[in-house]
A and B are shown apart, each in its own frame.
Chain A
Amino acid sequence: KNEVEQSPQNLTAQEGEFITINCSYSVGISALHWLQQHPGGGIVSLFMLSSGKKKHGRLIATINIQEKHSSLHITASHPRDSAVYICAVMKTSYDKVIFGPGTSLSVIP
Chain B
Amino acid sequence: QVQLQESGPGLVKPSQTLSLTCTVSGGSIRSGNYYWSWIRQHPGKGLEWIGYIYHRGNTYYNPSLKSRLNISVDTSKNQFSLLLSSVSAADTAVYYCATGVASGSYPYWGQGTLVAVSS
- A-B interaction: no
B residues neighboring A (CB under 8 Å):
none
* Residues of A participating in the B interface, judged by any CB pair closer than 8 Å: none
